[in-house]
Amino acid sequence: MKLSKEKVELIVTLLRETELRDGQVAEIFKVSREQINHIKNGNRWSSVTGIKPKTGNDFREFTPTYKDKYDSLVDKLSQIYNDESNG
């Protein structure tokens, strides 16, 4: 599946605000775990995410802090897939 700006923004939100792991997010978007890591670490899509490339052994930036937003994220995800299926 090809990533879009909207999908990348959702990936970052999922990593920050849920307990989903990199591999789980990769499965959802049908991309490799490495691609998710590149996004998370600012090596890809940094112009969209604003994440600067990491240097050294920085502590994981994405920690689940807004679990109450999980349902709305799932709704957004469903909408993306429905739009792609119908379009």
Instruction: For residue range 5-39, list pLDDT tens digits in order.
Output: 999 999 999 999 999 999 999 999 999 999 999 99
For 23, the domain range is 5-53+62-86
**pTM exceeding the 0.75 threshold for the entire prediction:** no
User: What percent of the chain clears pLDDT 90, i.e. is strictly above it?
Assistant: 48
Would you call 71 helix, strand, or coil by DSSP? helix
Q: How many CB atoms lie within 10 A of CB 82?
A: 10
Give the closest residue to 81 by CA, choosing from 1, 25, 15.
1
Q: How many domains does the chain have?
A: 1
- Specify whether the CB–CB gap between 18 and 68 falls below 8 A: no
